[in-house]
Chains A and B, each alone.
Chain A
Amino acid sequence: GAVVSQHPSRVICKSGTSVKIECRSLDFQATTMFWYRQFPKQSLMLMATSNEGSKATYEQGVEKDKFLINHASLTLSTLTVTSAHPEDSSFYICSAVSGGVYEQFFGPGTRLTVL
């Protein structure tokens, strides 16, 4: 089956620093990747849609200058949380799309804690 990895799985950083999260599709090419944020005991909240070679499309209320997304290749998308603050602490999950029926394959998630 399709495998998506995320790195790092956990990160703790100081307020004001930037953190980069990588999302890789390991055994397939993903023209589209999605970035989600999840708060405890809640569903996934879509942050942005990342298409290879083009600018990401951000959902309403998501600051594009705060959450920088780069999709440089068909197997890699990165999310950079810039000038992180404690309220950015969350579980960030990526997914990649393969196939015509829009099945998403999710990464294992990254737990970000901003001190």
Chain B
Amino acid sequence: TQLLEQSPQFLSIQEGENLTVYCNSSSVFSSLQWYRQEPGEGPVLLVTVVTGGEVKKLKRLTFQFGDARKDSSLHITAAQPGDTGLYLCTGTASKLTFGTGTRLQVTL
């Protein structure tokens, strides 16, 4: 499986701050998903993006798929402690590809 590079690998911020997580690859993806995983649990699907340039919003989370469908970003506005978790991107190219993960910690 090819690798999706996520950055940053770890992010610790205070409540109310904004942040962006990036997911990059040299491969073109037919679709890309973002998940959030809390400790001791399975990942939960947040969003799927399919079209290059697509932007999707989920409350305070904004997801963007790159025009060339090789990268994606997740922007969180006014982060809350409940946003804490491991954020994973996965994409479908010739095979499923997995992100290296971004661990987010939001403190009061």
Q: Which residues of A contact B (CB under 8 A)?
A: 4, 6, 34, 41-46, 49, 59, 91, 93, 95, 101-109, 111
Contact = CB atoms under 8 A, between A and B. Distances in A.
Given A102-B31, A103-B45, A105-B45, A34 B40 contact: no
B42 A43 contact: no
Interface of B is mostly: strand
Contacts, number: 57
A41 B45 contact: no
Chain B interface size band reads 20 to 34
Contacts of A107: 42
Contacts of A4: 42
A109 B100 contact: no
A93 B103 CA distance: 18
Contacts of B41: 108-109
A104 B33 contact: yes
Contact of A46 (B33, B43, B98): B98
Contact of B31 (A49, A101, A108, A109): A101
Contact of B48 (A46, A103, A106): A103
A105 B30 CA distance: 18
